[in-house]
Structures are given as structure tokens and as C-alpha cells.
Amino acid sequence: MIKPHGSDSLNPLFVYDTEKHHQLMKEAESLPTLMLNSAAAANAVMLGAGYFNPLDGYMDLADALSVAENLHTAEGLFWPTPILNLTQDISDIEGASRIALRDPNTEGNPVMAIMDVDKIETVSDEQIQFMAGEIFGTLDPEHPGVATFTSLGNNLVSGKIQVLSFSYFQNDFPDTFRTAVEIRNEISERGWEKVVAFQTRNPMHRAHEELCRMAMERLNADGVVVHMLLGKLKKGDIPAPVRDACIRKMVELYFPKNSVMVTGYGFDMLYAGPREAVLHAVFRQNMGATHLIVGRDHAGVGDYYGAFDAQTIFDEKVPAGALDIEIFRADHTAYSKKLNRVVMMNEAEDHEKDDFVILSGTKVRQILGEGIAPPPEFSRPEVAQILMDYYQSENS
């Protein structure tokens, strides 16, 4: 199986030993506490689950600035985005060497992790702006990633963590949330060697379905891991339980058995386009995938990124040998009326725009909200029904 990024074996930061877990939870009762924001909590989940291997905690300012500018830590580890614990208020933890980190997204704010504080550093507004510009390629406050990142705070708390909770993800998505450890184990149990990962924050329509099929066939892969984001999205995106139901229905009806794993991970969407695509590659390697599908405007939002910037960054910014996972480059896919099948548009000869069935996301949401199914060339009817039920319940 493909090796994890940066080490020979996966090193999840979750404390699995029951006795040690209990001892740490008891210790946390007497420690100074820091309420995490959602972004820092999501980082803790990913560190605990092994997705951010080989990191052992939150980065300090030197690493954060180096990663933002050069895509590697101060010591030279390749990494695409800073993994930070930024906060507004440090009054409760000033001078502390060991603290409890609390979950902002779960009722009662239970302890998520215990942290050995290495440094508490003040980050200037200029440094925040610099990092945001490098990560997101823009400083437009309307960009959802920029808006979130620049509001997290100017205090950077760095150090190693021991993770004690996966937040709400295990309880809310027991059939879907999986750690990198669990996915590696299942890939091994299924006997898969060549494994394609498909990233999604949306329901899968015919084009997405066919893209997974194309990647499997062209790479001669053993299977696809559909890996959906379960954390926070921007307003208007479809909630995770609805996406989950759509994807499971599509896999159940339209893919051969033992060819697709439906899984999810606990992270908030960054909308960082190219940089996030590389982060996706890192943590898909950690979960055991040998290939990641990177399509048009991967992890993008609005018109902030070029259609294929998330592919070219692997040529321009990822050094040779930095990652073992390979990229399956995909063009925009759509149903061809001429060929009566879904194709990559750049591979369809003698086609005009009107030869394809193309619907904007806005148009799809509009017709679903009106109780009208999108054409079967765009969406499987069983998937469309789940979406229509959701949109009509929202509009009623």
C-alpha cells in the first residue's frame, strides 16, 4: 500500500488506549482551557484521524509563514496550507504549558484535546493578510475562505496535541465518517492496490459518477473512495446528510459491488482552490489512495481561480517526489446529445456547446425547488428525487 506522507507509518494523534484516554480526560478537568474556533477544531479532528500525518500538532508562526509562502515548513516538510490554532482571546491560558482544548461545535463544549503549549505568538495584521493572500490567491473579503481566516484572531497557539474526541462527526455520521486509519484498513481488507479518491462537497450527478468510472477504467484501478466533506460549508451549500443519501443511492444502483467506498471526513471547507487541491492530495495519500481526481475548479468558489489552476499547481509548486499520490486530471464532464453518454468535453470532437446538456448550479436548485426533476442526462432520477424532497422542504 502507498506510504503515508512524510513517514513510513501513519501516526494518528487520537488517543485510542482506553486507560490513557480516561486519565487525560480527568487531567483536563484541572487544566486551563481554550475554546477552539471551528477551523482549529476541524484541524484537531484531521490531526487525530491521521489525515494530517506526519504533523504532531498545530504549527507555529515560522512554519505558518513558510508554508504559506513556500509550501514547506521551516524544517523542510512539504505542506500546502498552514495548520493553525488561531484565537481571539488568550487571557485564560497565558503562561500555561499544558491546556485543554474545547469543542465549539458540540453542546456543552466538551474537551477535544490536550495540548502541550510550545509558543503563544502574536500575529500581526500584515502577517495575517500575507498568509491569506498566499493561501487563497486573493484578499477579497467576499471570498468565504478569506473572510473566515482573517477573522480567527491574532494569537497563535502552537504545540503538540493528544486528541480525545472527533467532535460531532462520529455521532452525526456514524456510517460515513472514517479516519485515515479506518480507510487504510478497509482498503487492505478489500484487497485493493490501485485506489482512486474522489473529493466532493456536493451531491454526485451523472458527470461526477462518470468521472469516477472513467478514472477507474483508465487507471485500471481496483476501486474508488468517494470521500465527502462533512464539516462546515458556505451558505446555500447542500447539507451533508442530504449529500450522503444522494451518493449512497447512486452507488447502490449504478456501480458494481465492491467497487466504491462511501466515506467522509471532518473538516471545514477552505475554498482555497489550488492550495486546497494539494492539501486534498496529501491527506488522500495518508488514507491510502494512490490517485486523486482533480477536476475543473477543484475546491474553488466563484470566479477566483482559473478552471485548471488546481491541476497546474501540481506542475508549478509541488516538487518532484514531494508526494507519492498521483493526480488524475479531469476536464469538465457533460452529457453529449450526439454520443448519448457522459464525456469529457475536451475529448468530444465535432461538438458545439448546444450538443451538451449543461445546467448551472443555480438553475438546478431553481428547478428542484419547483419540484421539477433535472433531465435524466444530468441527474439520476433517484438522486433527483432526494434533492427535490430536500429543496421543497426548505421552501415550504
Q: Given a cut of 90, is residue 201 above it in pLDDT?
A: no
pLDDT at 249: 94
pLDDT at 361: 64
pLDDT at 362: 65
Q: Does the reported pTM lie above 0.75? A: yes
CA distance 201 to 203: 7
Residue spans of alpha helices (H) in 191-332: 206-219, 240-254, 274-286, 309-316
> Which of 218-227, 256-265, 384-393 bottoms out in mean pLDDT, i.e. has the lowest?
384-393
pLDDT digits (tens, 9 = 90+) for 334-371: 888 888 888 888 888 889 888 888 766 667 777 887 88
340 assigned to active site: no
pLDDT at 382: 93
Asked if residue 387 lies in contact with residue 372, where contact means CB atoms within 8 angstroms, the answer is no
pLDDT digits (tens, 9 = 90+) for 130-179: 999 999 999 999 999 999 999 999 999 999 999 999 999 999 999 999 99
pLDDT digits (tens, 9 = 90+) for 265-276: 999 999 999 999
C-alpha grid cell, residue 370: 419547483
Q: What percent of the chain has pLDDT over 90?
A: 77
Q: Given a cut of 70, is residue 189 above it in pLDDT?
A: yes
> Which of 67-76, 186-195, 299-308 bottoms out in mean pLDDT, i.e. has the lowest?
299-308
pLDDT at 240: 86
Catalytic residue (choose from 154, 190, 202, 365): 202
pLDDT at 206: 87
**Cα–Cα separations (whole angstroms), residue 293 to 120, 199, 284, 326, 346:** 38, 7, 10, 9, 16
For the chain, list the domains and their CATH numbers.
18-170 (3.10.400.10), 172-395 (3.40.50.620)
CA distance 385 to 368: 9
Catalytic residue (choose from 98, 190, 201, 329): 201
202 assigned to active site: yes
Contacts (Cβ under 8 Å, ≥6 apart) of 79:
55, 67, 71, 72, 73, 282
One-letter identity of residue 357? V
β-bridge pairing 333-336 and 341-344: antiparallel
Place of cell 466504491: 260
Residue spans of alpha helices (H) in 56-104: 61-70
Q: How many helices and strands, by DSSP H and E, does the chain display?
A: 13, 14
Is the model more confident about 51 or about 297? 51
Exposed/middle/buried for 351, CB within 10 Å: 0-12, 13-18, 19+? Answer: middle
C-alpha grid cell, residue 129: 493578510
The DSSP element (H or E) to which 359 belongs, if any, is: none
β-bridge pairing 86-87 and 98-102: unpaired
Place of cell 513510513: 8
pLDDT at 367: 81
Terminal-to-terminal C-alpha distance of the chain: 49
pLDDT digits (tens, 9 = 90+) for 204-237: 888 889 999 999 999 999 999 999 999 877 777 7
Place of cell 487525530: 48
Helix (H, G, I), strand (E, B) or coil at 22: helix
pLDDT at 360: 64
Return mean pLDDT, the chain.
93
